[in-house]
Amino acid sequence: MPRTAVRSHAAVIALALVAVTGCASPAPVAEAPEPSAPSVAPSSSPAATPTAADRATTRELRELEAEFEARVGVSAVDTETGATVEFRADERFRFASTLKAFAAAELLRTAAPDERETTVTWTQSDVDRAGYSPVTSEHISTGLSFMELAEAAVRDSDNAAMNLILERLGGPSALGEGLAALGDTTTRVVDDEPDLNDVDAGSTDNTTTPAAFAENLLALSDPENLAGDDYDTLIDWMSGNATGDALVRAGAPAGWTVADKSGGAGPMRNDVAIVFPPDRAPIVITVLTERTDPTAEYDDALVARAAEIVLSQFE
């Protein structure tokens, strides 16, 4: 996989970051106003008139929302050209376990090499409180290193591993400070697992926007934010995400590879991804979704089809 491709297009990424950060104030979680037409023009164009492709993308995503009775938020950036596609990109959504990719990145960014290999131990009660913990539940007697915990959090979405990483960072607020260092002043990290999945209507706690998470993915590709080897490690972990096959990966064109981190609980299903078309620079995409019925269960197909609609603009 051409993991270094993002880095080789630093100038284009800089333009893309300018476009993504030019956001309006985010709407409350409970609101779902009519979105404007998404931009698929180069990000250096300040306010391009919607094209037929723009209008078609808007129509398809609105139809998808109606079909699934859901709200969909998308932010995608082509690092080859700087083109973007955005739909409800500045509205707030719960981030769920997609946050684990950024927690792992913050560990890689801040932990010294010897600390990364320090063995960490925990108890059965830690696993029970965290919920879904397929890796840490099997290593209570032996423990794991911080690097193994970070890998488990990203590849297997292990909740107890996430909580142990957050504890090492200094808690949820410390991760929020790490994201702010990347330029993200939108995301609000308040709780650990599983409480970060619960958000009161109208609250910004434990929420982000598609634009903010896409910007974070772009920022992590900058070696000033994450060293080259560490970025490659993160991409490797995301490429092996065991819970993402039915999401952006399923919506990507044949022959495109995907490094992603999924998240979901109840009515929400999300995916953040770096998509690698053959022989060209990658596409960064965030897809955040939530069914309008709070008692409904999420549907992977909603994310996959939203990704298919958006990624088709970059073929």
Domain hosting residue 39, numbered range: 3-314
CATH code where residue 221 lies = 3.40.710.10
pLDDT in tens, 161-210: 999 999 999 999 999 999 999 999 999 999 999 999 999 888 999 999 99
Query: Which of 86, 148, 193, 215 is labelled catalytic?
Result: 193
Give me the percent of the chain exceeding a pLDDT of 70.
84
pLDDT band with cut points at 50, 70 and 90 for residue 52? confident
pLDDT the model gives residue 75: 98
Residue 159 has pLDDT above 60, yes or no: yes
User: Alpha-carbon distance 208 to 204, whole Å?
Assistant: 8
**Residue 198 DSSP SS3:** coil
In the annotation, is 43 catalytic? no
Q: What is the pTM of this model?
A: 0.86
pLDDT band with cut points at 50, 70 and 90 for residue 34? low
Number of domains composing the chain: 1
Average pLDDT, the chain: 88
CB 281 within 8 A of CB 9: yes
Give me the percent of the chain exceeding a pLDDT of 90.
79
pLDDT the model gives residue 201: 85
- Could you tell me which residue, 48 or 80, shows the higher pLDDT? 80
pLDDT the model gives residue 49: 61
CB 76 within 8 A of CB 191: no
In degrees rounded to 5, what are phi and psi of residue 261? -135, 120
Q: Count Cβ atoms below 10 Å from residue 312 Cβ, excluding itself.
A: 16
Residue 11 has pLDDT above 50, yes or no: no
Among 10-19, 121-130, 135-144, 289-298, where is mean pLDDT lowest? Answer: 10-19
pLDDT the model gives residue 41: 38
pLDDT band with cut points at 50, 70 and 90 for residue 51? confident
Q: What is 252-298 written as a DSSP string?
A: SPTT-EEEEEEEEETTEEEEEEEEE-TTS--EEEEEEEEESSTTSPP
100-122 per-residue burial string, b: 16 or more CB within 10 A, e: under 16: bbbbbbbbbbebeeeebeeebeb
Residue 17 has pLDDT above 80, yes or no: no
pLDDT the model gives residue 35: 53
CB 294 within 8 A of CB 198: no
User: Alpha-carbon distance 246 to 200, whole Å?
Assistant: 28
Residue 28 has pLDDT above 50, yes or no: no
CB 61 within 8 A of CB 86: no
- Could you tell me which residue, 21 or 135, shows the higher pLDDT? 135
In the annotation, is 308 catalytic? no
User: Alpha-carbon distance 74 to 89, whole Å?
Assistant: 5
User: Alpha-carbon distance 231 to 224, whole Å?
Assistant: 11
pLDDT in tens, 65-101: 999 999 999 999 999 999 999 999 999 999 999 999 9
In degrees rounded to 5, what are phi and psi of residue 266? 55, -120
Query: Which of 43, 97, 221, 239 is labelled catalytic?
Result: 97
pLDDT band with cut points at 50, 70 and 90 for residue 309? very high
